[in-house]
Amino acid sequence: MNKHMCQARRVAAHLSRRLTRYVRRFATDAYIISHPKSGRTWLRVMIGKALCLRYRLPQTLLLDTYRLSKRAGILRTDFSHDYADNTWRSYAQLPTDKRRYASKKVIFLARNIKDVIASYYFHSTKRSKKFSGDISTFVRSDHYGVKKVVRFYNIWHANRDVPREFIFVRYENLHENPQRVLRRTLRSLGVNEIEDAIIDEAVAFADFDHMQRMEKSLAFENSKLQPTDIHDPNSFKVREGKVGGHAHCLSLDDIQYIDDVIREFGCPFDTWNEVERR
């Protein structure tokens, strides 16, 4: 096979993937949107396990929320970071036009900004390996740090009236009462009846210790849920899952800088409670 034919096949495959994403974007009914490291893997696994149990669907679909929700006959649902994970974009380059979500339902998952920053730092240095500086530099980076997280939150707060329905979910409430948050999330996606036993089993399956054991044993076939270094806990996708864990990573100067940015930019989501609807 000559190099021109190989190149043509690569181009065709690329165009096919883009077309698939384009069609899927228009077919999606509901998006669960979050900044990276806000707990979406945890929520995705809980939702996936609950749907597999409720609709007796194969466990191989557990992490493919779009296909799983489609097979279940509920709102076709997908997860998105909505460009927040595009590290080539600075905080000032985040898109502010959310009209593409006008006919969609949006569930926005938010987490304490300091915990997001700390977790994202380890992800960026140990997993994606796109960042090589220290955590203080990361905090102040226009492409990774606090300004980008706060602007992402503020853009979505300003656009919360654009989707046909906007639901706010806080990561910390997942810790307080995961059963309640999971049930409300599933109900908003069209799961009207679900047994308590299924909710409890889904929550237990997605428990931090159980998830980390599965990741360590390479139980997940998906490479996104496998450690890059099995001997380094900070390289795990499921790393700590704590509320307030940033206190062990950030210096007092880092924390002061983050607080100053939040005061300068403002961040209304800081005062919102789970579950709030537009």
Domain positions in the chain: 29-277
Q: Reading across the β-sheet that carries 77-80, which strands appear in turn?
A: 77-80, 30-34, 105-110, 165-170, 276-277
Please say if the pLDDT value at position 223 is more than 60.
Answer: no
As given in the structure block, the two tokens for residue 76 are 């076709």
Closest CA to 82 of 30, 119, 39, 33: 33
d(CA 36, CA 59): 25
Considering the four listed CATH numbers 3.40.190.10, 3.40.30.10, 3.40.50.300, 3.40.50.1370, the one that applies to the domain covering 29-277 is 3.40.50.300
Indicate the range of 8-12, 92-96, 108-112, 266-270 predicted with least confidence.
8-12
Work out the pLDDT band at 166, boundaries 50, 70, 90. Answer: very high
pLDDT digit string, tens, across residues 45-75: 999 999 999 999 998 899 899 999 999 999 9
